[in-house]
Structure formats: C-alpha cells, structure tokens
Amino acid sequence: MNRINHVAIIMDGNGRWGKKKRKSRNFGHINGINVIEKIVKDSIKIKIPILTFYTFSTENWKRPKKEISFLFKLIDSYFIKEINNLVKNNIKINIIGNINILPKKIRLRLTESMKRTRKCKKILINLAINYGSKNEILRAVRKTKNKKGNVSIKKFETNLYTKGIPNPDILIRTGGKKRLSNFLLWQLAYSELYFIDKLWPDFTVIDYRKILKDFKRVKRNFGNI
C-alpha cells in the first residue's frame, strides 16, 4: 500500500463556480478558501505531511486587474485573521514562486507568515504564488550552471523552489480540465494524476478521500517495468 507524503492541488473552477451561482468570480474565490481549510484539516487528521496549492500562477497576471487585486486582498486578509490559529495548530506556511515582484504589502505579509510558522511541524502547506514551472526550471538551470562541478539531477533539484521537499505523490486538478498549466512540471514526473470534473468550491473531503484510497492501490513503477 502506497504511503502518501505530498499532495499537490490545482484548484480550478472558482471563477466559473461564482458565475454559475449568478454571482461574481470573486464569490467563487471566497468559497474556495473554505475548501482549502477543509482539505488541510482532513490531511492533518490522516497525517499527510505536505500539501501544495496552486494559488496564483505567472499566467494569472493576464486576468482583470480588479480580480487580481481582490485575490491579493483575500490572501492578505486571510493571514491577518488566521495567522495565530495557524501557529496554534502547528501549520507551517511556505511560499514557492517569485514573490519579489508582488505588491509590497502582500509580499511582506507572506514573508511574515512564513517567519511566524517556520517552527511548526504538523503539516507543511506550500502556496504557489506567482509561480510558473518553466520559469522555475530556467532559474534552476542558471543557478546550477554557476556552480562548480558536473550538472546532476540532485544538484539541479537543490535549485528548485521545492528544495528539500519530496515530490508530490498525487496531483489533483478540479474543474474538468486535463492539463498541468505550467505547475510543478519537473516535480510531477512520476506523480499519479487525478482530474476531477467538479469545480473547486464543490470539491469535498469525500472526493478527496476517494482519490487517496485509489492511490494507495496503484502500482507505482517510477519508469521501471
């Protein structure tokens, strides 16, 4: 039976869900946070040590400015409200992606949240913010080339945002799309992929548990016969 160390999630469908409810895309983003909290809580319960959520991609800058502004305000207000609970519940927050070009206020909030939770050990939550896998790989190539010695996979991986973090065992994508959308392209090489038709705000703990149960029965070959 396969052990689950790391689950990565593409939370697709928030905007469409909001429109489906005859409200705004932002209404979908608000409800999407509730699902994140439920999945985190259940993962703690069943002792999954790492979750990674695709929160804001490098391509998301193409969205309307009002929606982008709302997303950053939502992230900012969440950490203002919940940071003490995160520390209390021993939840570590880590940001992967280039946060240097984010608005100063959200950049400082994310940095402070990582600092406040750095000693927490119950679960690691990676939030991919201003993250794009192609950019990450190029960044790692440049950093690896600048070091002495031969290039190796091990050396290359030390220059990824996910340095020291095991690769995902499972990728879950909601929203009905069957693509990776520039997310963890290197790290997902041998992950099991689950594409779900439900929009993210409709995704439930029951759906989550079904995927985990199925994964435990999968024969993983990692490129071997």
pLDDT tens for 124-152 read 999 999 999 999 999 999 999 877 777 88
Give the predicted TM-score (pTM) of the model: 0.95
The residues facing 50 across adjacent strands are 6, 124
pLDDT, position 225: 58
User: Could you count the other beta carbons within 10 Å of the beta carbon of residue 152?
Assistant: 10
The whole-angstrom separation of Cα 94 and Cα 147 is 26
Q: Is 132 left (phi over 0), alpha (psi -120 to 50) or beta?
A: beta
Rg of the chain, C-alpha, whole Å = 18
The whole-angstrom separation of Cα 14 and Cα 214 is 25
The better pLDDT of the pair 220, 58 is held by: 58
pLDDT, position 178: 97
C-beta of residue 127 within 8 angstroms of C-beta of residue 53: yes
Query: Residue 126: in which H helix or E strand, if any?
Result: strand 123-131
The whole-angstrom separation of Cα 182 and Cα 95 is 17
Structure tokens at 107: 């950049």
Average pLDDT over residues 91-113: 97
Q: Sketch out the chain's domains with CATH numbers.
A: 6-132+168-217 (3.40.1180.10)
Active site (catalytic) residues: 12, 60
